[in-house]
Structure 1
Amino acid sequence: MKEGRTGERMTAEINEQPEVLAALVETRAEIATVARSIAERSPRFALLVARGSSDHAALYAKYLIEILLGLPAGLASPSTTTLYDAHPDLRDVLVVTVSQSGSSPDLLEATVSAKAGGALTLAVTNTPSSPLHDVAEFSVQIRAGQELAVAATKTYSATLLALYLLVDAARGGSGEHVRDIGELARQALVESSEGVERAVERYRFADRLITTARGYSFATALEAALKLTETSYLTTRAYSGADLLHGPVAAVDTDTAVLAVTSEGRGGGAMWDVLDAVSGRGADVLTVGSAAASMPASLCIPLPETTEEIAPILEVLPVQRLALGLALARGFDPDRPRGLHKVTRTR
């Protein structure tokens, strides 16, 4: 196959997201059928199994499940099964395995073990022919299409939307808050482009960066740190806004860049004091989100306002563009990050 221009694949797949998200909403009825079947089994706990970007999507789902469904939820440690051969009693537990490829050996083994332990198993994947799809009792397809760039972009946002549609349907929702998500995503990409360009110029020579957020948006902060690290090799750490003030803030100074995800709602509102503190220590703060313009910051990238629980679907779009732009500005090809492959096989 003829090699494309540097960053061509990641660019194209970022730009596909409005159409991918709009098309996924059209499958809401199919996802709702799965949600009703799961709700009829009345699980008492949800356990989410994932790695990498999918683990950040799983954290988002944890917030959705606990807040919107009132059901306890936790993030699993696959190695308890794969390395330590633990077999916990998972009766009355919903185990949701999130995997774009559906073929990572550790996630597959953890799902098989959970099913043997009595769990109700659900696979959320972009690959309907995957082993994970065959193993789980139920499955939800994110339908993002083939993703060629190593860094996950459209598969990540589509996973978030699929998880939201599932949880929303489980609580009896109609999906009304994401009915126009495709148009909102298009708007977010267009309106954030100039802000992203300014941020690329501002941070292209940064040595270290902190990402931070609270609530639903913490998943975006984690995903931002991963994207910046894997594409532009910028040393990036993610912290909850609350945890940042519990110790790491001591290392913040005038050489520190902070990317804060701040959307309208309780999570974003809780970030004002955090950013006031880091700004007071001389940090250079970039805010991204629907509440970005109201926060103490050197630069902001505002986004369309939505209900708080779906904000992460839009927040990640300019973050992906920032990672792409910084990689190119620093002389790297984000389509071919060193040492990485599209499917990571761990155990």
Structure 2
Amino acid sequence: MSYVTILVPNYNRAAFLPACLESIRAQTFTDWRVVVGDNASTDRSREVVRSLGDPRFELVCRPENVGYIRNTNLLLNEVDSEFVAVLHSDDWWEPDFLERLVGLLEAAPAALMAACAVRQVFDSGPAHIQWLKTGGGDTAILPAPQATRILVRTWPFLVPSDVLARTDLYRRFDGFEDSLPYSTDWLMWLRAASLGSVAVCRRPLANNRKHASSITGQAERNVLWADEWIRVARILEAEWQANGPPYPGAARELWAMNALRFIMKSHELHERGNRTGALKLTRLAQETAPSRTWRLAARLQRMFIRTTSPSIARRFRQLAAGLARRFPRPGYVLTVLSESD
């Protein structure tokens, strides 16, 4: 039995699969096995896997497309190791991804997951690196209250490719929630953080490809993620009420964070000329905000979108950015969100 099982759910990613699979073969940590779950691809994906001629790579072929989450959950049934990673077939790892994250989880028995910094690679333009803000040092072990608070206050960016988890995490929840195609990973990470510590590496060990056909790309264009974020908050609120919150006011802060994210994103969509999507986000913010202050902010943003042009919205953002640079404020920008009325 291998120490780590790596799952690669795939659908029509023959163009990206070689880089993905070769990044696994290049790992400095070598005690692993790979299961590629091909979701009824119509391109050369299966041939790409078979051409490796590597017995450590097992190919499981679905006779019909069962969807990304169902495919991933079926792959999780193949796991017989303590640790498991899910690598998207259009993403790839740096050679020391497994070595560093396995070491972190071994050093933190209470941690259900380890996450690294992420290099987001776009079709055009420079790459962008994101990481969980944990303070100084390359690594950190965050206790549940701190880990959950950081995730609640961070715009969701972690995908399964960026995480090494204990298999027990996915067993506890029967895999990913299949009714949340665009937010199921965010729910899983918040669940993991609220149940145990989280190990963090601030080095960019995972590379996430961002393109129009990706799952996140589709959600971004159609604002499909917003309704799911509301459902995530409701699920976690119920779980935290039943089992105890990871820290006082966690559910309220999560609702406030959602409202602020909707307002911020509505401005960006307005700048791009997507007034329909922008107005939807302000409506959701107003309906779900946990305080009068944030309901008022959503209402004012809605009025701003209705009465201004995208060019004015862009100038307004540039002015705000200039003021932020001139008068920087230390710490979290969003710490005031959980304040009561």
What TM-score do you get using the length of structure 1 for normalisation?
0.27
Between 1 and 2, higher relative CO (CA 8 Å, sep ≥ 6) is seen in 1
What TM-score do you get using the length of structure 2 for normalisation?
0.27
